[in-house]
């Protein structure tokens, strides 16, 4: 009896695994990360240090100096995509558990809350008030091309030799947060990444010193 029962269970298991195998093949799924995916994840990501970002922000000039400086600081301190930053309005600046957050609609209109340093949120709201912006007026009413030009010109004036562009500021925010927290999952949610593999690429920038410092800050009791 037991032999017959085991044979039945084995047959069911065999058919199930075979069906699952054909399903994954038909959908082009893989249980093992593809080589190209791993290569992307391990590639060193370019970034700016906080001091370099400060230099670039301070190099902004002209009648829109404050706006341009705020744009650079917002991209760095929140890690927003350029499209997300340019759609930011006063209504999207709020609080959660006593700290400032930005209510963002990311790719595919997926909503998320993004941590924003309280001093930056205060500056954004003060700027919007001084400019007489309504709750649904854009804080940065410029297009992507203009944003690229602002950042490029400011970086050239600052003397930074790296190639600077909006997404580099997002990378820089991600790396600084990872250095300070050592938490890739929290970073994935913060950035709005659909896949953890997109976030794992930032791990390659951590040094042994960063890793040791993070572990030393642990408290068990």
Q: Which residues belong to the active site?
A: 81, 107, 167, 170, 193, 202
Please list, in sequence order, all residues whose beta carbon lies within 8 angstroms of the beta carbon of residue 46, skipping any fewer than 6 positions away: 162, 163, 168, 171
Residues in the chain: 221
Query: Minimal CA–CA distance to 50: which of 169, 135, 163, 152?
Result: 169
**Sequence-separated (6 or more) residues with CB below 8 Å from residue 29:** 23
C-alpha span between 33 and 185 (Å, rounded):
18
Q: What does the alpha-carbon distance between residue 215 and residue 6 come to, in Å, rounded to a whole number?
A: 48
158/162 Cα distance (integer angstroms): 11
Report which of 120, 36, 110, 118 is spatially closest to residue 75, judged by C-alpha positions.
120
3-state secondary structure of 13: helix
> What is the Cα–Cα distance from 71 to 90, expressed in whole angstroms?
14
Distance of alpha carbon 66 from alpha carbon 140, whole angstroms = 11
Instruction: Give the HSE-up count for residue 10: Cα atoms under 13 Å, Cβ half-sphere.
Output: 6
């Amino acid at each position: 009896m037991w032999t017959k029962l085991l044979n039945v269970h084995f047959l069911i298991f065999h058919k199930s695994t075979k069906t699952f195998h054909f399903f994954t093949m038909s959908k082009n799924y893989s249980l093992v990360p593809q080589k190209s995916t791993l290569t992307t994840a391990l590639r060193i990501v370019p970034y700016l240090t906080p001091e370099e970002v400060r230099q670039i922000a301070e190099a902004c000039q002209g009648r829109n100096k404050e706006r341009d400086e705020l744009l650079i600081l917002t991209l760095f301190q929140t890690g927003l995509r350029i499209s997300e930053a340019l759609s930011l309005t006063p209504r999207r600046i709020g609080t959660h558990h006593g700290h400032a957050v930005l209510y963002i609609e990311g790719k595919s209109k997926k909503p998320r809350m993004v941590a924003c340093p309280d001093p930056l949120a205060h500056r954004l709201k003060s700027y919007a008030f001084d400019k007489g912006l309504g709750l649904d007026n854009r804080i940065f009413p410029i297009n992507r091309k203009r944003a690229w030009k602002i950042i490029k010109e400011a970086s050239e004036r600052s003397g930074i030799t790296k190639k600077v562009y909006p997404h580099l500021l997002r990378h820089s925010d991600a790396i600084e947060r990872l250095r300070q927290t050592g938490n890739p999952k929290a970073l994935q949610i913060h950035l709005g990444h659909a896949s953890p593999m997109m976030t794992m690429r930032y791990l390659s920038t951590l040094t042994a010193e960063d890793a040791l410092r993070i572990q030393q800050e642990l408290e068990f009791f």
